[in-house]
Amino acid sequence: MKTFNIPVEAALEVIGGKWKVVILCHLIDHGTLRTSELKKRMPNITQKMLTQQLRELESDGVLERIVYNQVPPKVEYKLTDYGTSLAPALQMLCSWGEQHIEKAVSEGEDVMVLSGAEE
Amino acid sequence: MKTFNIPVEAALEVIGGKWKVVILCHLIDHGTLRTSELKKRMPNITQKMLTQQLRELESDGVLERIVYNQVPPKVEYKLTDYGTSLAPALQMLCSWGEQHIEKAVSEGEDVMVLSGAEE
DNA sequence: CAGAATCCAGGATGATACTG
DNA sequence: CAGTATCATCCTGGATTCTG
């Protein structure tokens, strides 16, 4: 029997990984992404972590893995309908992050967003 | 220079700790809570982790620590205005968690919410 | 290109005892 | 009651190498 002390713990079990929210945000922003495109947008993640986090998200039913049987391999990831139900919450988190950065900048901190991965 | 690859990373820096979202949700639900009340609602957190996470949230400006100079000591925590700006996003996460639990239950998983800490 | 399989260090987290 | 200090531990996450 799995127990939670407060419902939000159940959400954290799904999005609690170090990179999961970031992955989900990228998928929210771009719809469908190949493995290499995700990696390009997350320069600091390792191959292993990327795969691992994607697998966990997949087995939690929030994203879907689409494998094309071809050479070289092509694999795409996209949110499931269920995963899409997370989008509103995550988008609010994103905009809060933006505000948080602006606040930091206005307070004289040295912060910046690279986000040069837009093609 | 601190850099982010995507703005949501800035949000994760603030709420990324293992217990931070849970702490914040309790404060959203109850307004102001004493240390011991927080602990009662988080049976699995240790004294050390609780203090540590609270200190980090405080130094990020999302919650405020109110110390009463008396014996025995009394310390209360509440969200700052800035922390309150996080509430909408976190509340969506909470309700998503509730839905996630319901989904799990309806799929025959053994899950339950204890939340017996309501007095 | 996508990812599996190792090995491994480090920080994050826990348990316990102590203080004012 | 609230918090600190210390020590032990786990396991996340990173570097690397290998495969189809």
Domains contained in chain B, CATH given: 7-106 (1.10.10.10)
Q: Which residue on chain B is closest to A82 by alpha carbon?
A: B100
**Amino acid identity of A102?**
E
Q: Is the dihedral of CA A99, A104, A108, A110 positive or negative?
A: negative
Nearest to B89 among A7, A9, A96 (CB): A96
**What are the φ and ψ backbone dihedral angles of A113, each rounded to 5 degrees?**
-105, 125
Contact indicator for A60, A10 with CB cutoff of 8 Å: no
Q: Does A92 touch chain B (CB under 8 A)?
A: yes
CB pairs under 8 A between A and B: 153
Longest Cα–Cα distance in chain B: 52
pLDDT-derived band at A15, boundaries 50, 70, 90: very high
Task: Kindly report, residue by residue over B78-114, the tens digit of the pLDDT.
Answer: 999 999 999 999 999 999 999 999 999 999 999 989 8
pLDDT of residue A116: 53
Q: pTM here?
A: 0.93
State how far the Cα of B35 lies from the Cα of B47, in Å rounded to an integer: 9
pLDDT at A119: 40
Is A108 in CB contact (< 8 Å) with chain B?
no
pLDDT digits (tens, 9 = 90+) for B14-59: 998 889 999 999 999 999 999 999 999 999 999 999 999 999 999 9
Residue A87 is which amino acid?
A
